[in-house]
Amino acid sequence: MNQTSTSALWAPFTPMRQFDRQRLLINSAEGMHYTTTDGRQVLDAMAGLWCVNAGHGQGPIVEAIREAAGRLDFVSSFKMSHPAALDFADKLVAKAPAGLDKVFFTNSGSEAVDTALKIARAYHQARGDCRRTKMIGRAKGYHGMGFGGLSVSGIGRQKRDFGPLLGDVAHLPLPYDTSLRFSPGQPGQGAHYADALLQLLEIHDPATVAAVIVEPVTGSGGVYAPPLGYLQKLREICDRHGVLLIFDEVISGFGRLGESFGAQVFGVTPDLMALAKGLTNGAVPMGGVLVSGAVYDAFMQGPDQAIELMHGYTYSAHPLACAAGLATLAVHDELRINAHVQQVAPVWQNAALALREQGLVLDVRAIGLLCAVELKPRESAPGTRAAEVAQRCFDAGVLVRASGENILLSPPLIITEEQIALIFDTLRRALDKVA
């Protein structure tokens, strides 16, 4: 054993030396709550990590996984499959915006993004347009930790330690400025930020660009909703220049914004859509890429026996994940989760925006059941204020996430109005106590 730790675990995105001194360990979960190993109940205002959208321990999902594990533990997805994979693909596509007709399964959001980027490049190759290899991401975008996703991501600190990433990547600015602070939902101004895409295309030569990738609502980068008309403009510019548009809906999908996907909320359909997290309610790792019929069809050429897309993962369409995904869709329907989110989102938004009176709050951004409360940074110690607030919330029985100067909130979508009030009351009290 090394000298600094008493456990073999190296945890992701975790300050390990601090964690070793003070371990936060969860024992069980049900509905809106976690129970820690020392028996404390904590209201989960993060849906785990933006993923347990239908709430913890959903009976039908647990049962479906159990049943699948006992019947078919594994089958390769290379040149074969199983009924639940076909069923899940069909049911998922039925929820998707019209035109997204196919789904390629992965095991995580990172793999979904890398898969989408590879499909985008290979699509242009398949059409004989071999010059289109460049990707355009956006500032503050998070697209997972694969080399592809990290390359298009817009969070510099996450790239710093990992050497050269994909070349041929450019970034759009965030469609945000201080005049948009405290906008309820989608800011009314700011669509003009999409014009930056025209400038990038001019700099990089539009004929060399394969795809633009954005989260419809920036998630872990700080919850930035798209200004009204912004995504429409991106779509138009992409269409005009033969560039594919990829939405990363790993967070914004599965009811988070009150529809199955953000694309439906904003009325813009991408060519490819990356999914994960809420796809299986977080219960089994899974991701996927929804693909337009037109993109798929471009691959379907050459001899019948030739593999059209040289890509895939051992655990693509894993039986347990497909079972969890099918049960998740059924639970969403049964509980009418989208309708519930539409009903409580205004309550959420009002409770969030009421924090603007608190002196430490620089901005509040809330849409659907997402929220970022941005704090004024401590000049001498950036990031420490949000971390302290999050710790105080946890001690008071509410789990929130601190990231930089932001407190991030993304609760299970079965949340009640009372629980919304409790989260924001707890947050306000924590804010009142920190300097």
Ligand X SMILES: Cc1ncc(COP(=O)(O)O)c(C=O)c1O
Positions touching ligand X (CB under 6 A) are 108-110, 113, 142-144, 215, 219-220, 248, 250-251, 276
Is 276 or 399 the residue whose CB approaches ligand X more closely? 276
Q: Return the closest-CA partner of residue 233 out of 190, 274, 176, 279.
A: 190
When the beta carbons of 187 and 285 are compared against ligand X, the nearer one is 285
Kindly state the smallest distance separating residue 249's Cβ from ligand X, in Å: 8
Q: Which two tokens stand for residue 123?
A: 């699509």
User: CB of residue 266 vs ligand X: minimum separation in angstroms?
Assistant: 15
CB burial of 383-420 (b: ≥16 within 10 Å; e: otherwise) equals: eebbbbbbbbbbebebbbbbbbbbbbbbbbbbbeeebb
Q: Which is nearer to ligand X, 114 or 388 (CB)?
A: 114
The minimum distance between CB 251 and ligand X, in angstroms, equals 5
The count of C-alpha atoms lying within 13 angstroms of the C-alpha of 344, restricted to the half-sphere facing its C-beta, is 21
Closer of 324 and 430 to ligand X (Cβ): 324
CB of 244 to ligand X, least distance (A): 17
- DSSP state letters, 333-385: HHHTHHHHHHHHHHHHHHHHHGGGGSTTEEEEEEETTEEEEEEPPPSSSTTHH
CB of 48 to ligand X, least distance (A): 11
Backbone angles phi, psi at 387, to 5 degrees: -60, -40
Cα 134 to Cα 150, 169, 266, 275, 307, distances in angstroms:
14, 6, 26, 22, 24
> 280 or 349, CB closer to ligand X?
280
Please identify the residue of the shown chain whose CB is closest to the bound ligand X.
Answer: 109
Residue 326: its H or E element: helix 319-335
CA 23 → CA 12, 383, 400, distances in Å? 14, 20, 16
- Work out whether strand 169-172 and strand 26-30 pair parallel, antiparallel, or are unpaired: unpaired
- CB of 347 vs ligand X, minimal distance in Å: 25
C-beta of 225 vs 251, nearer to ligand X: 251
CB nearer to ligand X: give 206 or 262: 262
Longest Cα separation, the chain: 68
Least CB distance to ligand X at residue 102 (A): 20
Residue 109: CB minimum distance to ligand X, A: 2
Distance CA 125, CA 120 (A): 9
Q: Are strands 287-292 and 100-106 parallel, antiparallel or unpaired?
A: antiparallel
Closer to ligand X by Cβ: residue 215 or 363 = 215
